[in-house]
């Protein structure tokens, strides 16, 4: 019974969560500069998934970006390096065009996964409260889901 809850007590769970959420900083900057934060939690806010991709591609083509991402991944994904497990990757600048494209792919995947993680982190508790509230009351509660478009 307790074994599924064990990851919640480990610090590595929260450092990996933080590693994903750090990618959302770019989304926040783009949202503040481009059209604003209105409607980000709805389907109209899907522009936030695509707008930063050219910036990520340009950053991934810089050779030192791979070094910075590798160091950050080593520190946040494997915080207890002395515990016996060494990461299966090394932090080094991009040496070839293939390394740069892999860095771009990593940045895009991390960005999209980080946005999904942030969305679920913010909206899942509210959705769970709405579901519990609607199941315990005799009157049906109508709460619109964040991804529905009204109009």
* pLDDT digit string, tens, across residues 31-61: 888 766 666 666 667 788 888 899 999 999 9
For residue 7, pLDDT beyond 90: no
pTM: 0.72
* pLDDT digit string, tens, across residues 73-97: 777 777 666 556 666 667 788 889 9
Measured distance CA(4)–CA(31) in Å, rounded: 36
Measured distance CA(132)–CA(117) in Å, rounded: 22
């Amino acid at each position: 019974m307790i074994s599924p809850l064990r990851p919640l007590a480990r610090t590595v769970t929260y450092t990996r969560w933080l590693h994903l959420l750090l990618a959302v900083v770019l989304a926040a900057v783009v949202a503040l500069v481009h059209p604003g934060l209105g409607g980000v939690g709805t389907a109209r806010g899907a522009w936030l998934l695509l707008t930063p991709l050219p910036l990520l591609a340009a950053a991934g083509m810089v050779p030192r970006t791979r070094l910075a991402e590798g160091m950050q991944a080593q520190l946040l994904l494997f915080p207890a390096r002395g515990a016996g497990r060494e990461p299966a990757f090394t932090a080094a600048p991009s040496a070839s065009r293939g390394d740069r494209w892999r860095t771009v792919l990593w940045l895009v995947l991390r960005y999209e996964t980080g946005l999904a993680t942030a969305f679920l982190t913010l909206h899942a508790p509210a959705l769970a409260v709405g579901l519990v509230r609607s199941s315990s009351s005799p009157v049906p509660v109508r709460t619109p889901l964040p991804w529905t478009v009204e109009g």
